[in-house]
Structure 1
Amino acid sequence: MRKLWGLLAVSALCSFMAPGLAEAQSTKTAKIGILLPLTGPFAAVAETQKQGALLAVDVINKRGGLDMPEGKTMLEGVVDDDEAKLDVGVRRYRYLVDQGVKGVGGQTWAPLAYAINALVSRDPKPYFPVCVQAKEAFTKGKIAPATFAAAYSPWTVGYMAGTQAVKTLGKKKIFFLARSDSWGWDIRDGVEAAAKQYGAEIVGRDEAPLGTTDFTTILQKVKAAKPDVFIAAQFAADSVALLKQVQQMGLNKEMTIFNAFITNVVAKGLPPEALAGVYAMHYFYYDLAGFPDQEVAKQAAEFTKLFRDKYGYPPDAYAAIAYIAYMEMFRGFEQSKSWDAAKVTAALMANNGKFDSVKGPAAWREDHQAAFKYGAFLVKGKGPGEQKNEWDLFSVEGSMGGEEILPPLKSLGY
């Protein structure tokens, strides 16, 4: 009898434990590709993108994973280095696919994003570039059905910068400095479109290749042209070099300086004297405490806390781009209950493509650009005595967003 009771007890214990065991066994893991130039000229920005992507993975895993037909599915971020080289990036993208990743995001260098988009067109895979891509990439027939870009094209960057300089700041005479590639030329076209629309004059133009360190000759031309505003397309290390020389030559005392697109990484590379009074468009600035839309300010603060808790400092713009992109990838998986690229695409485009983000409401357009209510924030650099702490870099002066900041779909062939 004692032996029988023992067997019954063991049986009851096994029955009691079975659901838990079954639940544990049903938890799967899905690999997610994170491909970025972690070495090379874009490494500092790529690091912030990687952080945003991995934070998105953490957020999903902390809530128990994705709810998929095969059961709760945890995510594993598989990180690789594309080195901002076409051959290396394509090879490592293919390696990630061979490893069984369910989707891929990444790229800081737009030409590589364009190349991977071409691969995705031929062999569909959910792909979420986290860089600012060339306008041409969004034309009908070129953007892959499964590619979704959480940032816009440089044309939009230029259009916003030009509009804010003319319409908001009241400037009428513009000197524009491009970078000698699609980034700079697209920004130039956007600035010129805004100038034409709002009645400003381009009084001077020039361009400089990526990696320029000495802008002295160009800045002498800017000084001689006597513009109201100097708008520059330079980014990352080029921005730091340019803005330092602008301040050293005293141009910031003669005209308004407007760096078209900026990040905290750039601002941190400048002495406060060189940052002071510089205007720019910022995809996401972590401190929106005084922003009129307090709901968006709350969303930004919640994201900033998540990021600070993990990394010890506030998120930069490209961290936000990556976080938004990966969270949308994961929403696509869960909404479609599938890893299939076509089904994920259909799920994201449902309900007119609407989604919410850490910087407010947005919607996927037909060209798979995200149209945000707040596409970017107009910021003004803080100088000596204004910065309350090491990350108090800008004051938020305004914003732009909606369909109006994106190229009309008709102009892209839709």
Structure 2
Amino acid sequence: MSKFSFVNVGCFALITFCATVPTLAADPYKINVILPLTGNGSFLGKGQQQTLQALQAEVNKSGGIKRPEGRVRLPGRPVQPANGGATGQWHCVGQKPSVMIGSSLVAMCCAIAPLLKSGPFDYCLSPGVHPAIGSFQYSSSVDTRDLMDVMMRYFKMRGWTRIAFMSSTDASGQDWQRGLDEFLARPENAVMTVVERQSFNPNDISVSAQIERIKASKPQIFFALSSGAPIATVFKAAFQAGLNVPICTTNANQTFAQMDQYKDFLPKELYIASSVFIPHDGLLKLDPDVEAEQKEFYAVHKAINVAPDNMSALAWDPAKIVLSALRRLGPNATGEEVRSYVANLSGFAGVNGLYDFRATSQRGLNNMNAVMSRWDGTVHNWIAVSKPTGLPLEN
């Protein structure tokens, strides 16, 4: 049986590799993985690359993808994805695979979606994408709408009801802005007030003017919703302006690399709505199977001397779910067969929670799988400060 390894395929301008896993035959089974390894999104892609490579080694140790004993191999049928126009350069789709993983970016996943009308099955690694129900695209971890729900519940119960909001003008920032507007429109959130709303271009080198207006509005909590290098611009401006209020940002920034790089100007209180993968001993009790999966997750990363963060968690579960489908269906499974398998999957234990795709289409998780976390520089980690759904722990 051949080794599970990554190979270079040049799938897209930002992409440099795809993944392979062994089948019953000598030739490897290839899983196309689309990750941003350069530019503003590289902090996402590089962390996910490490996780997938570590998982690849573990899969090899356990024998790769094996067809269950006595199971008839499913007939291979070619997947015929839509193609053409500006998307003609999408070489991975053009290869007509059965399954794909990626991208990590909202804009790119949204660009991929129209190509998937008849397959392949694609697991986007961004929670900010909201695939159509029944489609071939799935989205990793807890939906940003559910993360917003956790944020609003936590801060409302803390009595922090005066919100200042600032988002980037890219696809990710716009998604968060729509999410905020949806939740403010709910009757139960009438007590929450946006005292200032600002936006900025991700390429802006300064947002000092916007931060001064936010400071003047005297918020109790500041939502800084952007990711990657642009959030550093916001944090610096807030630090220089002396904006000393709790700041909440997106889980796209839940990376050790960013916390280390920004340590000199991080907010004193930095909150992130997170899936339940974060360390929580003595704080939360999760499903035993989820706890066992998290134990493996941390052990695999410890073996390669990597501290896993949200980027790792976003990649781990989708890869495990895809591998589960291929092990169950066999290496000749089509995109439709993989889609059908995942759509009916329930009780699957991942590091982000217990998945039930029948209850939550295209994702398998909801706000019961999310908590509010706070960055604690003294322990160099995110600490859970709420129960699932955002109820403060002290309550």
* TM-score category of the 2 structures, normalised to the smaller one: 0.7 to 0.9
Aligned counterpart, 1:133: 128
Question: How has the CA–CA distance of structure 1 residues 273 and 308 changed in structure 2, closer, same or farther, with 3 Å as cutoff?
Answer: same
Question: How has the CA–CA distance of structure 1 residues 182 and 316 changed in structure 2, closer, same or farther, with 3 Å as cutoff?
Answer: same
Report the residue type matching 2:58 in the other structure. V
1:247 to 239, 261, 286: 239
Q: Is the 8 A contact 2:148 2:273 kept in 1?
A: no
2:336 corresponds to 1:342: yes
Q: Distance in 2 between matches of 1:52 and 1:127?
A: 18
Q: CA deviation at 1:219?
A: 0.7
Larger RCO: 1 or 2 (CA < 8 Å, sep 6+)? 2
Is the partner of 1:306 in helix, strand or coil? Answer: helix
Q: Is the 8 A contact 2:353 2:365 kept in 1?
A: no
Match runs of 1:251-290 below 5 Å: 251-252=243-244, 255-261=245-251, 262-264=253-255, 265-271=257-263, 274-283=266-275, 285-290=277-282
Q: CA deviation at 1:152?
A: 4.6
2:287 corresponds to 1:309: no
Match runs of 1:1-400 below 5 Å: 26=25, 28-68=27-67, 90-94=89-93, 97=95, 101-122=97-118, 124-135=119-130, 138-140=131-133, 144=135, 146-167=136-157, 169-195=158-184, 196=186, 197-198=188-189, 199-252=191-244, 255-261=245-251, 262-264=253-255, 265-271=257-263, 274-283=266-275, 285-293=277-285, 295=288, 296-310=290-304, 312-337=305-330, 338-350=332-344, 353-364=346-357, 365=359, 367-372=361-366, 374-383=368-377, 386-387=378-379, 392-400=380-388
Is the partner of 2:386 in helix, strand or coil? Answer: strand
Aligned pair count?
Answer: 346
Mark the runs of 5 or more structure 1 residues left unpaired by the alignment: 1-23, 73-85, 403-414
Q: Distance in 2 between matches of 1:329 and 1:89?
A: 26
Question: How has the CA–CA distance of structure 1 residues 234 and 52 changed in structure 2, closer, same or farther, with 3 Å as cutoff?
Answer: same
Question: How has the CA–CA distance of structure 1 residues 287 and 89 changed in structure 2, closer, same or farther, with 3 Å as cutoff?
Answer: farther
| Cα deviation 1:272-292 (Å, max 9, x = unaligned) | 562432112234654223332
Q: Distance in 1 between matches of 2:88 and 2:296?
A: 34
TM-score (norm 2): 0.78
Question: How has the CA–CA distance of structure 1 residues 226 and 340 changed in structure 2, closer, same or farther, with 3 Å as cutoff?
Answer: same
Q: Distance in 1 between matches of 2:246 and 2:24?
A: 62
Q: Distance in 1 between matches of 2:323 and 2:30?
A: 12
Aligned counterpart, 1:411: none
Question: How has the CA–CA distance of structure 1 residues 307 and 89 changed in structure 2, closer, same or farther, with 3 Å as cutoff?
Answer: farther
Q: CA deviation at 1:69?
A: 6.8
| Cα deviation 1:329-385 (Å, max 9, x = unaligned) | 11112223352122222222335x3311023312125641221575333121224xx
What's the C-alpha RMSD, in Å, of the aligned pairs? 3.0
Q: Is the 8 A contact 2:162 2:194 kept in 1?
A: yes
Is the partner of 2:90 in helix, strand or coil? Answer: helix
Question: How has the CA–CA distance of structure 1 residues 25 and 342 changed in structure 2, closer, same or farther, with 3 Å as cutoff?
Answer: closer
Q: Is the 8 A contact 2:52 2:316 kept in 1?
A: yes
Q: Is the 8 A contact 1:155 1:189 kept in 2?
A: no
Q: Distance in 2 between matches of 1:373 and 1:229?
A: 21
Q: Is the 8 A contact 1:363 1:372 kept in 2?
A: no
Q: Is the 8 A contact 2:142 2:275 kept in 1?
A: no
TM-score (norm 1): 0.74
Q: Distance in 1 between matches of 2:218 and 2:123?
A: 42
Q: Distance in 1 between matches of 2:273 and 2:117?
A: 32
Q: Distance in 2 between matches of 1:111 and 1:298?
A: 34
Q: Distance in 1 between matches of 2:201 and 2:25?
A: 54
Report the residue type matching 1:259 in the other structure. T
Q: CA deviation at 1:88?
A: 8.1
Q: Distance in 1 between matches of 2:366 and 2:302?
A: 24
Percent pairwise identity: 17
Question: How has the CA–CA distance of structure 1 residues 112 and 43 changed in structure 2, closer, same or farther, with 3 Å as cutoff?
Answer: same
Greater helix proportion: 1
Is the partner of 1:211 in helix, strand or coil? Answer: coil
Q: Is the 8 A contact 1:35 1:106 kept in 2?
A: yes
Q: Distance in 2 between matches of 1:286 and 1:224?
A: 35
Question: Greater Rg, structure 1 or structure 2?
Answer: 1
Q: CA deviation at 1:36?
A: 1.1
